[in-house]
Chain A
Amino acid sequence: MYQFSGKLKTFSLALILIGLVGIGYGFYSAPKTVEEAKEIIAQQASHGDSHATSHEEVSADGHKSEAHGESHASVDESHDDAHAEHVLHQLKNKPWSAVYVALFFFLGITLLVLAFYAIQRVAQAGWSILLFRVMEAITANLVPTSIVMVLIVISAVMHWNHMFPWMAEGVFDPTSPNYDPIVDGKSWWINVPGWAIRSIIYLALWNAYRWFIRRNSIKEDTANDGGKTYKLSYNVSVGFIFVFMITETMMSWDWIMGLDPHWFSTLFGWYVLSSLLVSALTVIALVTIYLRSKGALPGVNDSHIHDLAKYMFGFSIFWTYLWFSQFMLIWYADIPEETTYFAMRFNEYNFPFLAMVVMNFAFPVLLLLNSDFKSIPWFIVIGGVAILCGHYIDIFVMVMPGTVGAQWSFGIPEIGAILFFLGVFIYATFSSFAKASAIPTGNPFIEESKHYHYYNIEHRGEGSGDHH
């Protein structure tokens, strides 16, 4: 049985602590008053960089098209004051958004590991049984990330943060200067109680399946009841995939598309899914490679790693396909209400927006194209790190333009949030992995998984006696 080493525990706790300090610094350094925001604007202008100028143009544009409640300041106020207030709200959103991006990234990855695990059960895959305990351990991270998500939901409902512009005061009130008829037309879906209740339901359903399947999976080891426990896991997993596809789609509307309430895209749920799925497979591969290197996963051979790398490769292309389909359809038709979304990202987020295509597509695809490379751990680690960084940027570019607009930067609050959730992830995963046997002995496909061999690759440092 695997021992969660004290070294790793200390490391993860240190990450959590450093992360908390970084997050706290983010909240502490955010401006509290319009005067502070004006100072920051003046500072930016005095630097005289092109960023400040381009920012003026785009955010002036944003006043019209993005219609953040607060940007519709009354006419007698001068533009400067309205602008300063707008910037103040964006700067106030920054530490919240930093936490939100990292939270969504880690919560989503954990959720997709759970979904992939359910798929493996439903598909009765023969190769992946030895990795079941790894996947189960990763999904342990669903509990802490869900708790933080609940806190974020509460803070949004309580108006402690203003990440979702449709939650601003007066947006649904025709007598208010903040009234937004377009968002009001969608108020049957995007209203605070509905949003909060849906959010809690998604989290509850996912955690319920996670709790059940982990318990039942450990039960399988000693069940000896003619496969009854196994079949129950199977049936519940079928139901979960159905529930997951619906909740995942609606979650992407509620938690991500709601940040730009004037914009909509039909394939958005799939797009978010693909981004999280490829990251989830990468995380499974990296944790598997780490645990195997520690000798905690007897039986996992190069063919298992090879299969995970194939999934990373394939879903990197799948992500690119959806990213490009969404972009190209909007670029081609160029309908103004849809195009503002990408215009904002091209003008203000140009570098991360294009860099992530290289990191999520070109680099991993060229690296993992060769069959031999797909079973070499350090190749997968390099490709995997690029994929994970790239998909973090993907989430970043999904969230930030709607919440902080042109005021984005990547600094201490963002890094702090990543480190915090990374620490939580490491602690949850490896302490959970240490709690159960590394091999799910009760699964009827376990022998097939132990003898899994992809004929086309050479296994290094292993006997090939188990195949002809």
Chain B
Amino acid sequence: MESSKVIHAFYNDDEVLMDAVKAVKAEHLHIEEVFCPFPVHGLDKAMGLAPTRLAITAFLYGITGLAFAIWMTNYMMIQDWPQDIGGKPNFSWWANMPAFVPIMFELTVFFAAHLMVITFYMRSRLWPFKEAENPDPRTTDDHFLMEIPVNNNEAKIIDLLASTGAVEINVVDKH
């Protein structure tokens, strides 16, 4: 069983935090989580996080939107009721294609943007009335927090973290 104890190390500078993350990774310790008040460039690389695949999903959603727009314009304007509207050719979808491009473009962007945002919310588990997860309110203002799980090596980790410039180190029981 994993230990339910974790160490919370506080930093008050993102440069110090970056160096601390690198020092902890060099010791091959697992970093459970890092809480920051703002994005720290390069933190994901220093922590060794896998790159996001959100852009790939957006591309696929965009293609879906494009396909939907083509199907919709073809069904409505060509198949279902091919009326002569102001002399626009409706013999085939291609004959009237330029008129459909604006809606094809907008639906591509609409699908790509909205579905990507929803994907982001689902993957990050964000929704209204969700209980906030940050362990200390200071991490939303001016402090950075690194969370490391303890496996019978509490003293060693605390020594290491103290040497990296942590301003506060707490051992807490994770509930």
| Residues of chain A at the chain B interface (Cβ within 8 Å) | 324, 327-328, 331-332, 334, 369, 371, 455, 467-468
Contacts and interface: CB of A to CB of B under 8 A. Distances in A.
Contacts of B98: 324, 327-328, 331-332
B42 interface: yes
Nearest to A327: B98
B62 to A, nearest CB: 10
A324 B100 CA distance: 12
A437 to B, nearest CB: 32
B101 A324 contact: yes
B155 interface: no
Interface in B1-48: 15, 18, 41-42
| Secondary structure dominating the interface of A | loop
B15 A468 contact: yes
Interface string B45-69: 0000000000100010000000000
B42 A328 contact: no
19 contacts: A324-B98, A324-B101, A327-B98, A328-B98, A328-B99, A328-B101, A331-B98, A332-B98, A332-B99, A334-B87, A369-B59, A371-B55, A455-B41, A455-B42, A467-B42, A468-B15, A468-B18, A468-B41, A468-B42
A319 to B, nearest CB: 15
A328 B96 CA distance: 11
A369 B15 CA distance: 32
Interface string B88-114: 000000000011010000000000000
A468 B46 CA distance: 9
Interface string B131-163: 000000000000000000000000000000000
B40 to A, nearest CB: 10
A412 B7 CA distance: 76
Contacts of B41: 455, 468
Given A324-B101, A331-B98, A468-B15, 16 more contacts: A324-B98, A327-B98, A328-B98, A328-B99, A328-B101, A332-B98, A332-B99, A334-B87, A369-B59, A371-B55, A455-B41, A455-B42, A467-B42, A468-B18, A468-B41, A468-B42
A371 to B, nearest CB: 7
A272 B101 CA distance: 22
A138 B41 CA distance: 35
Top 6 nearest A-B pairs by Cβ distance? Answer: A328-B98, A331-B98, A455-B41, A468-B42, A468-B18, A455-B42
A467 B18 CA distance: 12
A334 B98 CA distance: 12
Contacts of B15: 468
Contacts of A327: 98
A463 B59 CA distance: 31
A69 to B, nearest CB: 34
A467 B42 CA distance: 9
A158 to B, nearest CB: 42
Nearest to A456: B51
A371 B87 CA distance: 44
A1 B99 CA distance: 55
Contacts of B59: 369
Contacts of A324: 98, 101
Nearest to B15: A468
B88 to A, nearest CB: 8
A324 B97 CA distance: 12
Contacts of A334: 87
A327 B98 CA distance: 9
A371 B41 CA distance: 17
Contacts of B101: 324, 328
